[in-house]
Each structure stands twice: as C-alpha cells, then as structure tokens.
Amino acid sequence: MKPFILFAAAVALMGQSKPPETPPLQPFKLPQIKERKLGNGLTILLVDDQRFPLVTLRMGFVAGSRFDPPNKTGLSETVASLLKEGTATRNSRQIAEELADIGANLDASSSADGLTVSGNVLSAQLPALLDLTADVVRNANFPEDEIKLRKQNRAQELAFQRSQSSTLASEKVRSMLFGAHPYSKTLPSPQTVNAITRADLTSFRDRLLTPANSVLVLIGAIPPESKTLELLKARFESWTNKPVPTPPGGDIPKPARKLVVIDRPGSAQVDIMTGHVTLTRSNPDFFPLIVGNTILGGGTSSRMFLNLREKEGFAYQANSMHLPFRDSGYFSAITQVRPEVLEPALKGLFAEMDKMAAEPVGAQELTNVKNYLNGFFVIGLESQGGLASQLSTLRIAGAPLEYLEQYVTRIRSVEPDQIQRVAAKYLTSRDAAIVVVGDAAKITKVVEKFGSVEVEKAQ
C-alpha cells in the first residue's frame, strides 16, 4: 500500500476514534505523618521518604504581614529577608559559606498570615542544616549595615512594582475589599520600610518567632524517629516559650459594587481587576468556590480565556484567582485590554461573571475541571517540597491536615447547584469592587456607563 493511502486511512481512523476516558482519580492518601511536640510547645511533623537521599525542611510561623504595625508595614517581610544576614555567632558570609559547604538551601519568606523558613539538603548533612536553621530563627541579630542595604534595595523594588499598572489595580482592590483589616495591605510604602529599626526587627523576632507559634516539617530520608527527635531537641528544646499572640483583625466592609478609575496618563493599555471577599478553607462553600473559580478563569480552558481572548480578541490574558487566608479569602478576575475595546471587554467580563450564578454548569465542563483540579493537586503533593509546603501552610492557616486527604473527594462531590449558589455570593459583578487603571481622559466616560465612578491619581 502506498504511503498516501496509509496516511489517508490513518486520518479516517482518527476521525472515527474518541479520546480515551479519564479514569476517576482515587482519593489522595497522605503518607504516615508523625506529629510530635517538644516541651516548649514546638510542633514537629515527620514524614519518612527514603526514595531519595534528600531532606526538605519547612518551618512556619503565624507571623505574616497582618502583624505589621500600621506605621511599620513591611516589618514581617524585612525580618524574613534578613534572617540569614547575621546571628550572634555567624555573619552573613559565614552562613552563606556553611550552606555552600553542605550543598544546602535555606531561605525565608513572608505572606499575609505567615513567615516560612524553607530549606533542603542531602540527608547526611541534616544536622548541619538544623544547626543553621535553629541559629537564624532563634538568634538573628539584624546587623545595621544589612538593614541599610535592605532598605535601599526594597525602595528600588517598590518603585518598579508600583510602576506596573497591575500592582496599582491589585493594591486598590484589596484596600476596597478589606478596609481596616490588615489583609488590605499588599505592599509596604518606602516610608514605612525606612522607618523600621533594628529594635522593631528584634521585637518581632522575640514576640512571634517562638516555639509554640511554629510548626517544623521534615520530609525525606530522615534518621529513625528517636534519632531525629534527639537532633531537634538538641537545637530547639532550650528555646524559651512565650504566649502566642492573637492575629490582628479589623472591620471588613460589606460587599458593595464600586467602580474606581486610577488615572495613569499615557497608558497604552487598560488593566481591569474585580474583587470579592470570600472565605476560608474550613467553610463548606470553599470547594464549590474553587471549582467555580477554575471554570470562570482558572487556565487556558476557562470561560474568561476562551471568550475574552480566543473568541473576541480583547486581551492577551484573562484569568481569575482565589487566595484563601487564615481568617478570610479573596477572589479576583483580571484582564488587560486596549482602550478602544474597553466597553465590550467590560461587558464581556461582567457577563461571564454573572453567568456563573445564572446558569448551571454543564456536565462535561464540570467533569473536565474536576479532573484538572484533582490531577494538579495530587501531582503537586508528589514532591517533598510540595507536601512540606502544604503541611506548613495548613498549620499557619489553622486548617486540619485532613484537608489534604479530603480534597479529591470534596472536589469530586461538587454539584452545579452548589456552584451557582456560591457564585451568587462571591463571583458576580453585582457587588464587586472594580478597578480600572489607564488614561482617565480616555476611559472614564466608558467606565461611567457601568455605574458611578471615582477617579484617583496613580501614586
């Protein structure tokens, strides 16, 4: 048979075939987690994984940016950035050299709710990594020259970040949604960062980086439990315990539709961002919200992407996101468009948001999204780092570890009517905070077609 005939036959067979059915994903089963607690209140989670001679460490503290004083925003992130820059017995160079000698990584980061120290090392060098971890979280002394350098670098970073229209939109939406609550803050100002003193940093460390306010996760080729606990006790048991502070809160405004234009003269594009205050992982509506958000704007198969970008050509990117916090949550729909298509783009975006509550999701679309979410979730837990980060994050969020085992089943059980009900609360344009960033002279009249508008200058 000639090659052309073979090719034609193959094409004909392909046209008659169907893609294979995706088998149902089995519920995720956590590996054995041994939870222990030292006498000073430090919680320890141990997961033995001998597949690779590697150990992953996460040490999480309920000590995020919500603990920053109003006139010292940026304090938590500054503590995190300077933990490795010197202790009572090691300077920054010595810490860096010791990490290089053992082939280890050790970093720290801050989020709204927590401060997390992350590290990994070959299992044979675990004692040395624990030495360094204990030293930086217990004894970081924040040298004045490192503080000065950090302030200079952060001022430049903030100037660049706030030169981006997407940053302006995000900051404004969060402030509209959360009002007086610390969750309203996304970035500090150069002035508040510059006001931070060494005394502020050491006070934050002493008050919040404490054993009972922490969880230490070790995953990998760790020694037997008794030996691992000996290693940890030698480095952490003498750490003095202190009362755990109550996370600061504040009044969150009631949902209300509000439109704000941020004037960025000469801007060649328009950034659109909407927002809603949502809920925590422990709320029964959490899983329907995850599914609904993914259908709306969670990827290249989402409604926003397919309609606003692929069909209409309004935007290069169109997506939505949901970020859960310890005591609340945050949904946002985001896109960037050309000024000349702003009106149809806004109509299209609002139509997609409102459709989630008005019409039930189709069976195939729902099945596809469930498979995507569950597959992505399980794959993310296959690595040591993925599982360690999830365990630390859940403890910072005050959520039970059972959340991980329930995830696949809870996602699979979401029904169309649940999505509609949750979408009516959290995904519609009816009571959304809406921010449009662009040249106000060109876009304000268009935005006014959708309601009363406040115009602000870009800071």
Contacting residues for 403 by C-beta, under 8 A, at least 6 apart: 281, 394
> How do residues 303-350 score in pLDDT, each as one tens digit?
999 999 999 999 989 999 999 999 999 999 999 999 999 999 999 999
Q: Which secondary-structure segment (H or E) carries 254?
A: none
Q: Token pair of 420, please? A: 């509609």
β-partners of residue 323 are 330
Q: Residue 117 CB: number of other CB atoms within 10 A?
A: 23
| Cα→Cα distances 292→170, 262, 366, 423, Å | 21, 29, 9, 7
Arithmetic mean of pLDDT, 415-424: 98
Q: How far apart are CA 183 and CA 330, in angstroms?
A: 9
Indicate whether 198 pLDDT > 70.
yes
3-class secondary-structure state, position 435:
strand
Indicate yes or no: pTM above 0.85: yes
CATH architecture of 258-457: 2-Layer Sandwich (3.30)
Closest CA to 75 of 167, 214, 203: 203
Asked whether 136 and 84 are in contact (CB, 8 A), the reply is: yes
Q: How far apart are CA 126 and CA 25, in angstroms?
A: 35
The single-letter code of the amino acid at 218 is: L
The residue assigned the tokens 């704007």 is 297
| pLDDT grade for 9, boundaries at 50, 70 and 90 | very low
**What are the phi and psi torsion angles at 388 (to 5°)?**
-60, -40
Domain range list for the chain: 34-236, 258-457
Instruction: For strands 433-438 and 270-277, give the pairing.
Output: antiparallel
Asked whether 210 and 108 are in contact (CB, 8 A), the reply is: no
Indicate whether 24 pLDDT > 70.
no
Class of domain 34-236 as given by CATH: alpha beta
> How do residues 78-131 score in pLDDT, each as one tens digit?
999 999 999 999 999 999 999 999 999 999 999 999 999 999 999 999 999 999
The single-letter code of the amino acid at 154 is: R
β-partners of residue 262 are 437, 456
